[in-house]
């Protein structure tokens, strides 16, 4: 259900985040673990201080809302400060 948007986010991060980290996170989608895939991807963004665009942050925020996750919880709460 959320796999298209999560995959889109992964593609947007190509060239800034290690491809193996992206692929490792996205692999969880095939096992119907979309929330886990998304959380791991966001954790990598935060952990490696990957700068994100406003558009990427909006995509992340929309996924957080749609998946009924808490934007004030880690790793999501750290992403706003990475927007350039």
Q: What is the mean pLDDT of the chain?
A: 97
* Cα dist from 61 to 41, 42, 58, 78, whole Å: 13, 11, 5, 12
Model-level pTM greater than 0.85? yes
Give the mean pLDDT of 68-75. 96
């Amino acid at each position: 259900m959320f796999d298209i948007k999560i995959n889109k986010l992964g593609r947007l991060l190509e060239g800034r985040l290690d491809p193996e980290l992206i692929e490792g996170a996205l692999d969880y989608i095939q096992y119907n673990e979309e929330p886990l895939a998304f959380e791991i991807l966001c954790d990598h963004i935060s952990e490696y201080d990957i700068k994100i665009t406003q558009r990427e942050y909006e995509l992340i925020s929309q996924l957080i809302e749609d998946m009924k996750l808490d934007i004030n919880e880690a790793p999501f709460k750290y992403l706003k400060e990475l927007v350039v």
